[in-house]
Structure 1
Amino acid sequence: MSARSLGFEDFEPRVGQSFTMRYADPAAADPADAGPADPGEAGEAAGVCEAVLTECARSSVPGASRSFNLLFRAGPDAPREQGTYLLSRQDFEPAPIFLVPVRTTPDGAEFHAVFNPIDGG
């Protein structure tokens, strides 16, 4: 997994497509470990679910021309905690993305991500 900047153009063509969402499995975590688990660490027990990218929208905030937000819909097996999740698909290299659950639905949950790259930086 390489560190890379993600932009609107990485997600916009993938609206409606499914991503694999990996997360630390709290049932497999050592209770003595007080820190959050990294879902991308090798050997780490991880939960996996599918999440569909349902929205990719540019920010309407003046001066934030590169900012955008994403909305994902995941099934009933998805976790309900905010945190860093590893998202991937065959044509999208795994990337850690901070997701916040914003709504529980009858068939799962929706997660929101916000990207705020600083213009000129």
Structure 2
Amino acid sequence: MNHHVNYVTYIGWVLESMPQETIDTHELASITLDYRRECLQDDVVDSLTSIEPTDGAETVSKLTGTNGSAVARKDDADCPMFLHLLRVSCDEQEINRGRTEWRKKHAR
């Protein structure tokens, strides 16, 4: 009605940029999203994803991985954590920051 994007859409955008290798072998354990500004239906959005560093050196504002390019390190393979950034493509205004935690899928 107000031409705003529904919050479920943000979750979809975050998950779209996850590495396929992680999606294939892990399941989402938790997701935390921090909304910074509204997004309108006509906005073109960049979804950036990066593996969360274990040393705390990198922040979400410095994310460079995008569209599934981030790959978990060997030592993080069992329970990788990722940082996410959604931004408006044309002016790079931050829409949303997030963090996801993943766990290995159980064998069926």
Q: TM-score, normalised by structure 1?
A: 0.27
Query: Higher helix proportion, which one?
Result: 2
Larger radius of gyration: 1
Which structure has more relative contact order (CA 8 Å, sep 6+)? It is: 2
- Higher strand proportion: 1
